[in-house]
A and B are shown apart, each in its own frame.
Chain A
Amino acid sequence: MAQRSTSRRKQDKGEKFMDYSLLFIVLFLVGFGIVMVFSSSSYEANQKLGDSTRYLRQQLFASILGLVAMMVVANIPYHFWERFAVLAYLGSVVLILLIIPFGHSSGGATRWLYIGPISLQVAEVAKLGMILFLSSLICKLGKGVRSNKGFLIVLLSPVPVALMLWQITNNLSSAIIVMGIAVLMLFVSCPDYKRFIFLALATLAAAAAVVFYVVQTAQAHADELDFRGGRILAWLDPEAYANDKSFQTIQALYAIGSGGVLGKGLGQSMQKRGFLPEAQNDMIFSIICEELGLFGGIAIIIMFLLLIWRLMIIANNAPDLYGALLVVGVMGHIAVQVILNIAVVTATIPNTGISLPFISYGGSSVMFLLIEIGLTLSVAKGIRLKDL
């Protein structure tokens, strides 16, 4: 309580702490994302829609909206959100359920709700909702989280949302991210390592079992596999499925590999010219590599690492556990999503639709990410300068 009152006092005195490093990194990523969305989409947008700036304009609009929302959220003391924890959870569930009657499809998956002119990807809401809900829940549980019962409550509470995301919106990647966020928040709030090592090993074993099962089934009767099974096969041997299942993966590898050390130069990608469909979406990192080379690709990885480092600093200096958990949730969200995206694009793991935070085209994604950064900035404002 003392901390909270000091932070308030600071704000009252106008000694607002703004984490400019974090702000700069985020602004850089958003700006860079807009440039890359334009670069990777303009050719196809011009060919198909006769409007080369279509995606650029939409992304620019969503980014500006997101930045405004970020600044608003940054100026709201973060404890304001504590009371909406259960609402956030239930809201996520309701939005996902609304997909069944009202969902809009794109690219074969039904993931969007239309609210007037704005399309909303409910998974993005669910990720933010889960961060808000779990931060509050873990604070409520207090020491109780260390017990097996508390551990299970935190671990199982996001499962219904994840299952719904997977089954209703056919979006396994978002389900994985939601679970990832939960596990990381739980990890930070429990002092032990044992249970997490066990959890990690169990997950690895389950993944290995799935891969093994898919390979076995493929040898016996390949037609019984669904598209995810096919994606695992395509991951194991991309060249063998180059024309169908691993088409996207192979095209992304061509883009990355042909970029070389220095890249072809901004705007010079060949793969975006119809070879890699929807290059501005999940596979945008491959176009970055093709145009800006290994240096560009590694620079982006470093920017994300800096972002996570800033989030770690803020989490560790947060005035209270609730704030720290909020920032850890955001950190988990961004880290898991960046890692999964780059791993998919480089064919390190099987293909699953996952966007690169701040950079991939997608209004909902960039807006909600910026709102999460707003939350983080709000937490950062509570830090006493002498703590740093």
Chain B
Amino acid sequence: MENKMSHKTYHRSKTVTVFFLCMLVFLGLAARLVYLMVFQSEYYSMKARELHERERSIKAARGRIIDANGKILADNKTVCTVSVIHSQIKNADEVVEVLSKELGLSEEYVRKRVEKYSSIEKIKSNVDKATGDAIRAKSLPGVKVDEDYKRYYPYGTLASKALGFTGGDNQGIIGLEVIYEEYLKGEAGTILTVTDAKGVEQDEEGEERVEPVNGRDLYVSLDINIQSYATQLALQTMETKEADRVSILVMNPQNGEILAMADVPEFDLNNPYTLPNGMDASAFSEKKRQELLNAMWRNGCINDTYEPGSTFKIITAAAGLESGAVKPTDTFHCPGFIMVEDRRIRCHKVGGHGAEDFVQGTMNSCNPVFITVGLRIGVERFYSYFRQFGLLDKTGIDLPGEAGTIMHKMENIGPVELATISFGQSFQITPIQLATTASSIVNGGRRITPHFAVRAVTMDGSDSQSFTYPVRENVVSAETSETMRYILEQVVADGSGRNGAVEGYRVGGKTATSQTLPRGSGKYIASFLGFSPADDPQVLALAIIHNPKGTYYGGQIAAPVVRQLFENILPYLEKK
């Protein structure tokens, strides 16, 4: 009995020890719980939320592109994406039947996707809204119709190379669409939904929505009426002259706003990946197809350079007058050629222009006169004027891929090179560079930045942001500018540019005919640059015809194009 009692005593104390040991461990575990559930709670809650929430984005509507008259050039159209969610489908046969019928797809195609075990399977995208609504109205379990925006260009091919188009995710690919991506694209919204591990939404948990911010509308200086007419003229000219390409650029020389930029052939913005007529995409390799597309999208007005020829005499004349190397009253004699070192450079008039003053020399587009002026200015001065006029820099136009000027290095210019530069050969510039430089010379000497975008406005109109562009004053003196306007008006009134004259309007301008490289290929570029009114230019147009058949003189075929354009748009612009 006593034995038993002693047993009991230490048994008891040891059982109590066990209990307290347990209590100690339990306390430790409770402390661990406090650590996890109080101090680490935020971290694990965040991790768990990340795990449970699924993010779906709500697309923002892309800003529209709107012309000077308020006409919409680039718009959004609502399209639908039809998908199926495998786990939610109740009646697979019905789903297959309805979808194949409504979407015009084969039953096998739809069935394969309906029966595929995946969380969400896309059946068809870019379904028009009416069809999407019809499918949604049937409210089939497991069928999802999501709305999406697709870019739509109401005018199809019009100003295609300037406007550009967007890709699959509605991001700009070329043109204004890519330059103003930041303004146009807006910000996608999100829907956060809570789902189980398989992605099934938990309705009772609700959803969190962040509304999308739509893109801003881009108001551009492009005038759809002028653009249409310019495009029409360009197409007509391309056809009648059997030319490769015709570019017409219309801008406001006072502020650099571009009113029209046509570069035919253009392409259909709503089908930008369709190759030009008669070309079968499947006949080419992937690389070749891309090259053809790039060529089709290329904007000749800014992406390509050319030898400007006689239109460049505007710049030579301005440099000559500004430097004092020549006065309008200076007299010259043209025997039909001029010797520069040992080279005999011919004038386009074989018999020569005889005695003429500088104004007449310009009216005649006489090469020996301009070579003489160029040689008088000298390499260094000429070069510094190029720099001053902005010829050596890009214009800064708001389109992607502007090409730079290809000019001799100053130290490589000898008298012969200087002579050829004087009448616009042996170097290359872009049409936009020529038009911009000519604008600066005739607008009183302000180097303006050519541009399309005027302002970006939120879709509800609550906020408007105007774009400003750099202007450099006094690139030529007001006096030189005035003289240039006078001389160029004479060119049109009674000189080589008389085909550019418009009855009732004062027009100034300059013609050009340049042979393309290599010389002797028989290919020419005919061009005419005109502006009006000649005393206070409000509009400047440059027409360039690449490789015309038959008559190829700028004064004969390009001047009439600008004349027809001016006949139409000058009264229109006056009314505005």
Closest A residue to B23 by CB, please name it: A305
Q: Are B7's CB and A321's CB within 8 A?
A: yes
Q: How far is the CA of A143 from the CA of B12 in the complex (A)?
A: 16
Name the segment of A73-81, A91-99, A341-349 touching the other chain. A341-349
Contact of A309 among B3, B19, B49 (CB under 8 A): B19
Contact across chains for B18 and A339 when beta carbons are under 8 A apart: no
Q: How far is the CB of B27 from chain A (nearest CB, A)?
A: 9
- Whether A274 touches B45, Cβ cut-off 8 Å, given contacts A328-B15, A339-B25, A346-B29, is no
Q: Does B208 contact A (CB under 8 A)?
A: no
In the assembled complex, the CB of A18 is this many whole angstroms from the nearest CB of chain B, namely: 21
A188 to B13, CA, bound (A): 8
Are B37 and A339 within 8 A (Cβ)? no
Q: Roughly how many angstroms separate A312 CA and B18 CA in the complex, as a whole number?
A: 8
Taking CB atoms, residues of chain A closer than 8 Å to B45 are: 257-258, 260
Check B15–A294 contact: CB distance below 8 A: no
Inter-chain CA distance A328–B11, complex, in Å, is 10
A154 CB within 8 Å of chain B? no
CB within 8 Å for A294 and B37 given contacts A312-B15, A321-B7: yes
Task: Considering the complex, give the chain B residue whose CB is closest to the CB of A335.
Answer: B22
The interface residues of chain B lying within 8 Å CB-to-CB of A189 are: 11
Pairwise interchain contact B29-A312, C-beta atoms closer than 8 A: no
- Tell me if B30 is interfacial: C-beta within 8 Å of chain A: yes
Q: Which residues from A are CB-within-8-Å of B194?
A: 270
* Contact across chains for A274 and B197 when beta carbons are under 8 A apart: yes
Q: B15 → chain A, closest Cβ, in Å?
A: 5
Is B198 at the interface (CB under 8 A from chain A)?
Answer: yes
Shortest beta-carbon distance from B117 to chain A in Å? 15
* A257 contacts B44, C-beta separation under 8 Å: yes
When the two chains form their complex, are residues B48 and A316 in contact, meaning their CB atoms are under 8 A apart? no
CA distance A143 to B6 in the complex (A): 11
The distance in angstroms between the C-alpha atoms of A348 and B26, with both chains bound, is: 12
Known A256-B44, A257-B37, A294-B37; judge A188-B14 contact (CB<8 A). Answer: yes
Q: Which of chain B's residues 1-56 have a Cβ closer than 8 Å to chain A?
A: 3-4, 7, 10-12, 14-19, 22-23, 25-26, 29-30, 32-34, 36-38, 40-41, 43-45, 47-49, 51-52
Minimum CB–CB distance from B32 to chain A (whole Å) comes to 5
Q: Tell which of A43, A270, A339 touches B22, judged by Cβ atoms closer than 8 Å.
A: A339
Are A297 and B33 closer than 8 Å at their CB atoms?
A: yes
- Contact in complex: A301, B52 (CB < 8 Å): no
- How many A residues are at the interface, by size bracket? 35 or more
Contact with B along A177-205 (1 / 0, CB 8 A): 00000001001111100000000000000
Q: Does A158 contact B (CB under 8 A)?
A: no
Distance in angstroms between the alpha carbons of A190 and B34 in the assembled complex = 36
Q: Which of B12, B22, B41 has the most CB of A within 10 A?
A: B22
B26 touches A301 (CB 8 A): yes
Name the one of B7, B29, B200 contacting A343, with C-beta atoms under 8 angstroms: B29
Chain B residues numbered 107-151 whose CB sits less than 8 Å from any CB in chain A:
none
Is chain B's binding surface mostly helix, strand, loop or mixed?
helix
The reply on A331 being an interface residue by CB < 8 A is yes
- For B21, the closest partner residue in chain A by CB is A335
A50: min CB distance to chain B, Å: 13
Contact B44 A335 (CB under 8 A): no
B29–A255 CB distance below 8 A: no
- Looking at A143, A309, A332, A348, the one whose CB has the most chain B CB atoms below 10 A away is A348
Chain B, 183-199, CB within 8 A of any chain A CB: 194, 196-198
Tell me the complex Cα distance, A274–B199, Å: 10
CA gap between A328 and B51 in the complex, in Å = 44
Q: Closest Cβ of chain A: how far from B89's Cβ, in Å?
A: 15
The complex places the Cα of A8 from the Cα of B52 at a distance, in Å, of 61
Does A62 belong to the interface (CB within 8 Å)? no
A270 (CB) vs chain B CBs: closest residue: B52
Across the interface, do B48 and A270 meet the contact criterion of CB distance under 8 Å? Answer: yes
Q: Does A17 contact B (CB under 8 A)?
A: no
Interface residues of A in 325-374 (CB under 8 A from B): 328, 331-332, 335, 338-339, 342-343, 346, 348
Determine the chain B residues whose CB is within 8 A of the CB of A320 once the complex forms: 4
- Whether B202 is near chain A, meaning CB under 8 Å from some CB there, is yes
Tell me which of B15, B25, B43, B197 has the highest count of chain A C-beta atoms within 10 A of its own C-beta.
B15
Are the CB atoms of A188 and B11 closer together than 8 Å? yes
A321–B14 Cα gap in the complex (Å)? 13
Question: Within the assembled complex, what's the spacing in Å between the Cα atoms of A273 and B197?
Answer: 6
**Given known A-B contacts A187-B14, A273-B202, A253 and B22 have beta carbons under 8 A apart:** no
**Contact (Cβ within 8 A) B37 A315:** no
Residue in chain A with minimal CB distance to B28: A348
Which A residue sits closest to B3, measured CB to CB?
A143
Is the CB–CB distance between A308 and B44 below 8 Å? no
Which listed residue, A184, A289, A293, A301, touches B18 by the CB 8 Å rule?
A184
- Contact check, B37 vs A261: say whether CB atoms are below 8 A apart: yes
Other-chain residue from A254, A261, A343 in contact with B51 (beta carbon distance below 8 A): A254
Per-residue interface assignment for chain A, residues 143 to 171, with 1 indicating a CB less than 8 Å from any chain B CB and 0 otherwise: 10000000000000000000000000000
Residue pair A298, B30 in contact (C-beta under 8 Å): yes
How far, in whole Å, are A255 and B48 apart by their CA atoms in the complex?
A: 7
Q: Are A346 and B33 in contact (CB under 8 A)?
A: yes
| Assembled-state Cα–Cα distance A271/B44 (Å) | 12
- Interchain CA distance A309-B21 in the complex, whole Å: 12
Pair A315/B48 contact, Cβ less than 8 Å:
no
The answer to whether B19 and A274 have CB atoms under 8 Å apart is no
Contacts of A304 in B (CB 8 A): 26
When distances are taken between beta carbons in the complex, the residues of chain B under 8 Å from A309 are: 19
Q: Does A259 contact B (CB under 8 A)?
A: yes
Does A21 sit within 8 A of B, measured CB to CB?
A: no
User: How far apart are the CA atoms of A189 and B17 in the complex, in Å?
Assistant: 12
**Chain B residues whose C-beta falls within 8 Å of the C-beta of A259 in the assembled complex:** 37, 41
- Which residue of B10, B19, B51, B200 has the most chain A CB atoms within 10 A of its CB atom? B19
Given the interface contacts A270-B194, A316-B16, does A305 sit within 8 Å of B26 by beta carbon? yes
Chain A residue at minimal CB-CB distance from B196: A273
Closest to B34 in A: A294
User: Whole-angstrom distance between the alpha carbons of A32 and B181 in the complex?
Assistant: 60
> At the interface, yes or no: A105 with Cβ under 8 Å from chain B?
no
Chain A nearest CB from B198 CB (Å) reads 6
CB distance from A255 to the nearest CB of B (A): 7
Q: Is the CB of A271 within 8 A of B48?
A: yes
Which among B19, B37, B44 has the greatest number of chain A C-beta atoms within 10 A?
B37
A241 interface residue per 8 A CB criterion: no
Docked Cα-Cα span, A253 to B40, in Å, equals 10
Cβ-defined partner of B11 (8 Å) among A254, A255, A316: A316
Asked if B196 contacts A275 (CB within 8 A), the reply is: yes
Contacts of B49 in A (CB 8 A): 258
Rounded to whole angstroms, the CA-CA distance of A189 and B18 in the bound complex is 12
Interface residues of B in 366-414 (CB under 8 A from A): none
User: Cβ of A256 and Cβ of B11 under 8 Å apart?
Assistant: no
Known contacts A191-B10, A254-B48, A324-B11: does B34 contact A342 (CB below 8 Å)?
no
Central interface residue in B4, B51, B198, B200, by most chain A CB within 10 Å: B51
- Quick check: B52 and A275 within 8 Å, CB to CB? yes
Residues of B within 8 A of A289 (CB): 33, 37
B47 proximity list for chain A (CB < 8 A): 254, 257-258
CB distance from A33 to the nearest CB of B (A): 18
Determine the chain A residues whose CB is within 8 A of the CB of B202 once the complex forms: 270, 273
Provide the bound-state CA to CA distance between A339 and B3, in Å: 34
Query: With the chains together, A335 CA to B262 CA distance in Å?
Result: 88
A343 to B17, CA, bound (A): 21
* Contacts A184-B18, A259-B37, A339-B29 known; 6 new A-B pairs at CB < 8 A: A188-B14, A190-B14, A258-B47, A338-B26, A339-B22, A346-B32
A-B residue pairs in contact (CB < 8 Å), sample of 25:
A143-B3, A188-B14, A188-B15, A191-B14, A253-B36, A253-B44, A259-B37, A270-B196, A273-B197, A273-B202, A275-B51, A275-B52, A275-B197, A289-B37, A297-B37, A301-B33, A309-B19, A316-B15, A321-B4, A321-B11, A328-B15, A328-B18, A331-B19, A338-B26, A343-B29
The 4 closest A-B pairs by CB, nearest first: A257-B44, A274-B197, A273-B196, A258-B48
Interface residues of B (CB under 8 A from A): 3-4, 7, 10-12, 14-19, 22-23, 25-26, 29-30, 32-34, 36-38, 40-41, 43-45, 47-49, 51-52, 194, 196-198, 200, 202
